[in-house]
Structure 1
Amino acid sequence: MSTNKNDQAHEDNFENLEEALGRTEQYIEKNQKKLTFIALAIIIVAVGIFAYQKYYKAPRELNAQAEMFQAQRYFEVDSFNLAINGDGNYDGFLDIIDNFGSTEAGNLASYYTGISYLHLGEYQNAINYLEDFSSSDFILSTLAKAAIGDAYMELGNNEKAASNYMSASTFNTNDFTTPIYLQKAGIAYELTGNYKDALAAYETIEKDFKKSSEARDIEKYITRAKLNLK
């Protein structure tokens, strides 16, 4: 009796499976054209992405790097106006941003432009271009954040300066730049009257970066912050 029930259950399962397969086949037959279009669309998108990367994006990247070469040379010798605006024969960083903004070179041009404006004393322009820059490179990201902090300090916005210095200190923790930016953050905090956070920044230098140049006289900064806390 039990065997008959099992056989019947197996037969029912096979029937259900055949019925499901039949429905699937009917759906495919009924929607074959639509499914074909979907499959073709996926293939076209994949081919399009490959073609875009190989035949459009990669050549533009190389072209942008070549066009930016002279501007980089001007930047290296502190000819910041020529680096930004070009010399009439070669493009400046602003031209690279306009013409190749979607490339890595165009993104890097935003960094160069921001640093150039910082040196020229055009601090708001420096902030604008440095904030447009983004990179997975810890060193450049750290330098950009710190430069934004410098620009805000020059503009008298010490709170934003402190915030950017603190961000710069955490991007790529090391014994060289981190204590520099912590000290800058502490000074900016003091200028805002925030002696608590200033003290925390100074004490971090004392505790975690004892061998740094900033640690040599950090005690006087700590003492000053503590006195102002009372």
Structure 2
Amino acid sequence: MATYKKRGFKPKNKAEEDQIEQMESTTAEVFQTLDESASKTEAWVQKNQNYILGVIGAIAVGVLAYLGYHQFIQKPKEATAANELFYPQQYFDQALSNETAKDSLFSLALNGAEGKFGFLDIIEEYKGTKAANLAQYSAGMTYLNLQQYDEAIAHLENFSSDDAILGAMAKGGIGDAFTQLNQPEDALDYYEKAIAHDNNGFTTPRFLRKAGIMALNLGQKEKALGFFERIKEEYPETQDGVGIDALIGLAKN
């Protein structure tokens, strides 16, 4: 049992007296050690206070710089880039609906005109912005329509998005480019990536059908059958579901 010393307390015997003295000695040693540690800590702080203050200052400056950059540089840059993107995007949209002048309109979308930026300018001048990322997608699709497939692949690979439609369309666009370059294995790989990106009624049946046809061309009938049967089961009412039974028959035979 622990023994403690009350005011006016007297030990009953020699053993109890020795125990009390030992506890008092131990307590004194503990407090002395604490005092010495505190003194050493204070001395270390005093000796290194310039370094400590420098580190704290550097962290504070870093935080303030980040907040300032985001607020006063990045946000205005994003807004400006988004405004610049509007101009070439108009030419791109017009080209999709104007068969006669589509090549010239696609060229304007890429390179700009009348002092306005095209997709390529935005990619270069506004790196790191959302608008520059979208410009990569649009530039890739523009090159795909212009049948410049290597350039299309390069830009679409630089595009990154979690968006269900755009992300799948970019991967499928790379697949289309590889198809035109007569690289069927690469094409099939990217069609499968487009399918895996998101499950929806617009892009999924589209690239299931393309993947199935590509697999058929590669002699992979079992894989092709899986793609076609999924269209029949999940997307029979879509445009890509039209004639799917005939494709299933080809894959089975």
What TM-score, normalized to structure 1?
A: 0.88
Report 1:157-172 matches (<5 A). Answer: 157-172=183-198
- With 174-183 and 161-170 compared, the bigger mean Cα shift is at 174-183
Distance 2:215 2:252 in 1: 13
Q: For 1:2-55, what per-residue CA distance to the aligned partner results, in whole angstroms no more than 9, with x for missing partners?
A: 325795666665555444433332322221111110000000100110111111
Report how far residue 91 of structure 1 moved.
Answer: 1.5
Match for 1:107 among 119, 129, 133?
Answer: 133
How many residues are paired up? 227
Equivalent position to 1:47, from 58, 64, 78: 64
**In the alignment, is residue 26 of structure 1 matched against residue 52 of structure 2?**
no
Deviates more, 1:190-199 or 1:3-12: 3-12
Structure-2 change in CA distance of 1:14 and 1:135 (3 Å): farther
Bigger proportion of residues as helix? 1
Q: 1:16 to 1:196 in 2, by over 3 A?
A: farther
Alpha-carbon distance in structure 1 between the residues aligned to 2:28 and 2:242: 86
Work out whether residues 201 and 235 of structure 2, in 8 Å CA contact, stay in contact via their aligned partners in 1: yes
1:137 counterpart = 2:159: no
192-201 vs 116-125, which moves further = 192-201
Greater shift after overlay, 27-36 or 38-47? Answer: 27-36
The residue number in structure 2 matching 1:77 is 94
Alignment counterpart, residue 149 of structure 1, candidates 153, 165, 175? 175
Look up the match of 1:63.
Answer: 80
CA distance in 1, matches of 2:31, 2:186: 71
Task: Name the SS of the counterpart of 1:156 in structure 2.
Answer: coil
Deviation at 1:68, TM superposition (A): 2.2
How many angstroms does 1:99 deviate by? 0.9
Structure 2, unpaired ranges of 5+: 5-18, 96-104
| Residue 216 of structure 1, CA deviation | 4.8
The alignment's C-alpha RMSD in Å is 2.3
Identity of aligned residues (%): 37
Q: Which residue of 1 aligns with 2:228?
A: 202
Match of 2:240 in 1: 214
Moved more, 135-144 or 107-116: 135-144
Give CA deviations for 1:107-150 in whole Å, capped at 9, x if unaligned: 11111101111111111111111111112322211111111111
Q: Displacement, 1:208?
A: 3.5
After superposition, what is the alpha-carbon deviation per residue over 1:155-193, rounded to whole angstroms, capped at 9, x for unaligned?
111111111111111212023321221111111112222
Distance (whole Å) between structure 2 residues aligned to residue 136 and residue 44 of structure 1: 33
Deviates more, 1:200-209 or 1:50-59: 200-209
Per the alignment, do residues 64 and 216 of structure 1 end up closer, same or farther by CA in structure 2, a change over 3 Å counting? closer
Provide the TM-score with structure 2 as the length reference.
Answer: 0.81
> Residues 203, 20 of structure 1: CA spacing in aligned structure 2 closer, same or farther, 3 A cutoff?
farther
